[in-house]
Amino acid sequence: MSPLFVHDADRSQRIGLPEAVFCASKTVDQLAAVLNALLAEGSRALLTRLAPEQHAALSDDLRRRLDYDPISRTAFLGPVAPPPGPPRVAVVTGGTGDQRVAEEAARTLAFHGEAVERHYDVGVAGLWRVLARREALARFPALIACAGMEGALFSVLGGLVPGLVVAVPVCSGYGVADGGRAALSSALASCAPGIVVVNIDNGYGAACAALRALRASAGR
């Protein structure tokens, strides 16, 4: 009577972003049901937090229809066109451990037709790495910064570039950095004006925020 999955079919029209499928808390049966419903509708979809084990447990047929990336744990259902223009979003990371989150953002943007430029491993302990890229980074209307530990990258970046800086605290590190809480509070308390923050590890949300900013301005 009450279906488990109620597709928010007009979300795209309402807010410019189609519904994505968050796979982390779904069983394989639930995933298959959702995918089949989307296929029946002929809908494209982005899947996030799809663990390799979940992906491997899907039927061959469903797996064949998915473009899966194990680093970002994302999959595309349906065709994804190449971006129509040059990158409008820079994705920046502090260290190697931030890559999976940065790639979730990059893949989300790719699904929505936006190219990104990657600036990885430019953490603050070696400040010259980010300073050397200042001019390049200052050209972007939107930047997604992913950093764990103490997240000093957010403030440094926010003080160097005029674009919208979306900070994604990353769950890496140990002790007080465990779970990404130190980076989260660092991002929220930043002394650089106008930095905005999404939930820990939420590369998907950061990409959606960048899309909101880009599309809304384009529409004016």
By CB under 8 A, the residues from 34 to 73 that bind a copy of itself are 34
Mask: binding to a copy of itself, 1-20, rule CB under 8 A, as x and -? xxxxxx-x-xx--xxxx-xx
**Residue 203 in the binding site for a copy of itself (CB under 8 A):** no
Answer yes or no: are the C-beta atoms of 145 and 105 closer than 8 Å. Answer: no
Q: Which stretch binds a copy of itself (CB under 8 A): 37-45, 59-67, 72-80, 163-171?
A: 163-171
The two three-digit tokens of residue 25, written as one number: 């808390």
Nearer to a copy of itself, 64 or 213 (CB): 213
Among 54, 109, 166, 203, binds a copy of itself (CB under 8 A): 166
State the Cα–Cα distance between residues 14 and 48, nearest whole angstrom: 21
- Paired with 116 in beta bridges are 89
- Which part of the chain contacts a copy of itself (CB under 8 A), choosing from 37-45, 57-65, 75-83, 212-220? 212-220
- Out of 105, 109, 173, 203, the only residue in the binding site for a copy of itself (CB under 8 A) is 173
Which is it for the CA torsion 129, 134, 135, 140, positive or negative? positive
Shortest Cβ 156–a copy of itself spacing (Å): 6
User: Could you tell me which residues come within 8 angstroms of residue 46 by beta carbon, excluding any fewer than 6 positions away?
Assistant: 18, 20, 21, 74, 75, 76, 77, 107, 108, 111, 204
- Quick check: 26 and 53 in contact, CB under 8 A? no
CB of 57 to a copy of itself, least distance (A): 16
Give the binding range for a copy of itself (CB under 8 A) out of 37-45, 55-63, 72-80, 174-182. 174-182
Nearer to a copy of itself, 1 or 60 (CB): 1
Site for a copy of itself in 73-112 (CB under 8 A): 88, 94-97, 99
CB of 107 to a copy of itself, least distance (A): 14
Residue whose token pair is 């950061």: 206
Q: Which stretch binds a copy of itself (CB under 8 A): 37-45, 60-68, 75-83, 198-206?
A: 198-206
- Count of positions on this chain that bind a copy of itself (CB under 8 A): 109
